[in-house]
Amino acid sequence: MIMSLFINDERGLLEPQNDLFATALLVIGFVVFAAIMSKTYLTYDEHSFALENYEEASRIAQSVASDELLHTTSPGIISASVLDHISDPASGTSMREILFSSFSGNFEFSVEVVTDDEKYQWAIEQRPIGTANNDVIAASVPVVIELNPAESVAGTLTVKMIKRGWI
């Protein structure tokens, strides 16, 4: 009777190589372990990057919201007419330069101001930045916007920071 079951195969073809298989398994196990550790580290790194940059974006948002350039009429209240002017790509260049002058060139970001009812929206960009293929980290602060001397509305100032490169 021919026994085809490998447990009854007494030719010993595989036995000398048992430790090879064991070692191969060990190597595979080690590679999987290293891959999991790397993945965990990368995830941790990504999270700490996001957290650090969120702090950055929040600091920039607070600084922009309190910049007296935007508060020409009353202190603490952002003027809609200034926002109209500064967000105009053609005429607001020098004002934008002043607004962004206190920030170093290390971070690329844009500023968006939106009233809570979403009727009015302003986008301030130092230079055109594409956000299509990049991760964006945003932070917002609440602001008060003076639409005209008789009417002020609540709104949000958002700083959107673009993740580029290794920094």
Partner 1 sequence: MGVSKLKTPQKSIFYDQSGWIDFTLSKIAMIIASVIIIAAVFQLAADFKDMGYENELGGVIALDLKSAVDNVGSDTFDAGVVRTYSFDMERFSFDNRFEINAYISGEYVRMTATANDGRIIHAIKPLTFRVLPFNESTLRSELVDRFGHDGTVDDPITSDYTMIVDFLSQMSANEIILNTSMPVYIQKTFIYTIPIIDTGVNKIDYVLVH
Binding stretches for partner 1 (CB under 8 A): 1-3, 8-13, 16-20, 22-23, 26-27, 30, 34, 37, 41, 48, 52, 55-56, 59-60, 62-63, 66-69, 72, 85, 91, 94-95, 97-98, 101-107, 167
List own/partner pairs for 126-134 with CB under 8 A and 24 or more apart: 126/96, 126/97, 126/100, 129/162, 131/160, 131/162, 134/162, 134/163, 134/164
Please say which residue, 72 or 126, places its beta carbon nearer to partner 1: 72
- Measure Cα distances from 32 to 22, 28, 43, 46, 156 in Å: 15, 6, 16, 21, 46
Question: Residue 94 or residue 151: which is nearer to partner 1 going by CB?
Answer: 94
Least CB distance to partner 1 at residue 13 (A) = 6
- Choice between 98 and 154, CB closer to partner 1: 98
d(CA 110, CA 100): 10
Q: How far is the CB of 117 from partner 1 (least distance, A)?
A: 28
- Shorter beta-carbon distance to partner 1: residue 115 or 137: 137
